[in-house]
Amino acid sequence: MFSSDEPLNLDAAGTITDLSPFFGGKLTVHMKRLDLIHPVLGGNKFFKLKYIIKKIKEEGHPGFITFGGAYSNHIAASALTAKLAGLKSTGIIRGENHDQLNPTLSFAEKCGMKLVYISRSDYKQRYSEKYQDNISKEFDNLPVIPEGGSNILGVKGASEILNNNDFNYDYYTVPAGSGGTATGLAISLPVKKKLIVYQVLKAKDIITEKIELFCSEMNLQSVENYEINTGYHLGGFGKLSSELIEFIRSFEQQTGVLVDPVYNGKMLYGLFDLIKSGYFPESSKILVINTGGGQGWYGFIQKASKNYLSNINSLLLN
Ligand SMILES: *Cc1c(COP(=O)(O)O)cnc(C)c1O
């Protein structure tokens, strides 16, 4: 089990790992290690939460309410951020209460987050303003942070992921759930660069609409320097195939980097496929953004110990 005492190290996000040999050596492929910000959590969520938390503090609220699934990186990250910022946090969790907390929820609870479970059908209303108002009234009128920290302040935080040392590449790659991180990256990149986005939800492209919506809410001109890949969900959100596990295992053996299976494993699998198919011109330079999310493994390991996917244990013990 991971600890809520591990500090955050935002400077570690500047670390770059060379992956070129793994991808065949013909292209330059570097990885930006947001996963090193926190030993098991990573990642992009701390950038997304930065301005959201700042505003909550400035407005003098004693805490906040947020939403997430039972294995959500956002729930773990916002619980830890609340603890570090001295705020109270309440997590509205999709699905029923379980007798035994999974590792994500038990971490959140250790950070001081109060967990409230709602049915999957109620959870569907999480984007409705009226529903959020009611939730807020129910919990001391505290402000509501949307699922995944994706609002325009979250996007603003994500637009600070790249710094001046990072603009020397032709392509940038990132996995996407709600699209807040992809939007932040796209608006921070010059128009001539290209952001390759790997949508992990099994659906038609839902990210383009999100990027356009965030840009209009932020009064920014819409951006076109990105491309959405919908073909690498590998069975759907949170689904792990043995092929994916094999891929992550060999990636770890060759690079020393264990990526999370829900987001970054699928992005890298997709990138590997695009490189193999000749998508990138010769001598292209690619920066892979590792968004973290390593805590997700603990939930899979817990399920694996119930014989869900027994080869995950061997993957991690190797
Ligand atoms: C939340 C998350 C993402 C997706 O970010 P969005 O802004 O929701 O698209 C990607 N990777 C990891 C590890 C995450 O936790």
Confidence check: pLDDT of 318 > 50: no
- Asked if the domains at 10-40+161-317 and 45-149 fall in one CATH topology, the answer is yes
Most informative mutation of 52, 178, 237 for ligand 1 (most atoms within 8 A of CB): 178
Q: How confident is the model at residue 259 (pLDDT cuts 50, 70, 90)?
A: very high
Confidence check: pLDDT of 40 > 90: no
Distance 294 CA to ligand 1 centre (A): 12
Rounded mean pLDDT of 114-123? Answer: 93
- Which tops the pLDDT comparison, 248 or 304? 248
- Which tops the pLDDT comparison, 318 or 14? 14
Q: How confident is the model at residue 315 (pLDDT cuts 50, 70, 90)?
A: low
Give residue ranges with CB within 6 A of ligand 1: 42-45, 73-74, 148, 150, 175-182, 260, 263, 291-293
Which is the closest atom of ligand 1 to the Cα of 154? 7
Number of neighbours of residue 129 by Cβ within 10 angstroms = 8
Distance 307 CA to ligand 1 centre (A): 27
Distance 291 CA to ligand 1 centre (A): 7
Distance 150 CA to ligand 1 centre (A): 9
d(CA 170, CA 233): 24
Backbone angle region of 149, left / alpha / beta, with phi > 0 → left and psi within -120 to 50 → alpha: left
CATH number of 10-40+161-317: 3.40.50.1100
CA distances 69 to 151, 179, 260, Å, are 18, 17, 17
Distance 182 CA to ligand 1 centre (A): 9
- Which tops the pLDDT comparison, 220 or 6? 220
Q: How confident is the model at residue 87 (pLDDT cuts 50, 70, 90)?
A: very high
Distance 125 CA to ligand 1 centre (A): 21
Entry pTM:
0.94
Task: Note the pLDDT of residue 46.
Answer: 94
Confidence check: pLDDT of 238 > 80: yes
List all residues 6 or more positions away from 290 whose beta carbon is below 8 Å from its beta carbon: 31, 32, 33, 34, 35, 42, 43, 257, 259, 264
Task: Note the pLDDT of residue 312.
Answer: 57
Distance 25 CA to ligand 1 centre (A): 28
Rounded mean pLDDT of 271-285? Answer: 96
Q: How confident is the model at residue 311 (pLDDT cuts 50, 70, 90)?
A: low
Tell which residue, 211, 269, 237, has the closest CA to residue 69: 237
What would you measure as the largest C-alpha separation in the chain, in angstroms?
Answer: 58
Task: Note the pLDDT of residue 123.
Answer: 92
d(CA 255, CA 247): 12
Q: What three-state secondary structure class fits 66?
A: strand
Q: What is the DSSP string of 141-156?
A: T--EEPGGG-SHHHHH
Q: Which two tokens stand for residue 52?
A: 């959201």
Rounded mean pLDDT of 56-77? Answer: 96
Task: Note the pLDDT of residue 111.
Answer: 95
Check the CA dihedral 94-100-104-109 and report its sign: positive
Q: Whose CA is nearest to atom 14 of ligand 1?
A: 293
User: What residue type is 277 in one-letter code?
Assistant: S
Task: Note the pLDDT of residue 42.
Answer: 84
Is 287 within 8 Å of 166 (Cβ atoms)?
yes
- Which tops the pLDDT comparison, 75 or 313? 75
User: Could you state, in order of their start, the residue ranges of all structural domains in the chain?
Assistant: 10-40+161-317, 45-149
Q: pLDDT, tens digit, for every residue of 155-193?
A: 999 999 999 999 999 999 999 999 999 999 999 999 999
Task: Note the pLDDT of residue 5.
Answer: 78
Most informative mutation of 233, 237, 291, 298 for ligand 1 (most atoms within 8 A of CB): 291
Question: DSSP strand E in 69-141: where?
Answer: 88-94, 114-118
Which is the closest atom of ligand 1 to the Cα of 207? 9
Select 45-149's CATH number: 3.40.50.300, 3.30.450.60, 3.40.50.1100, 3.40.630.10: 3.40.50.1100
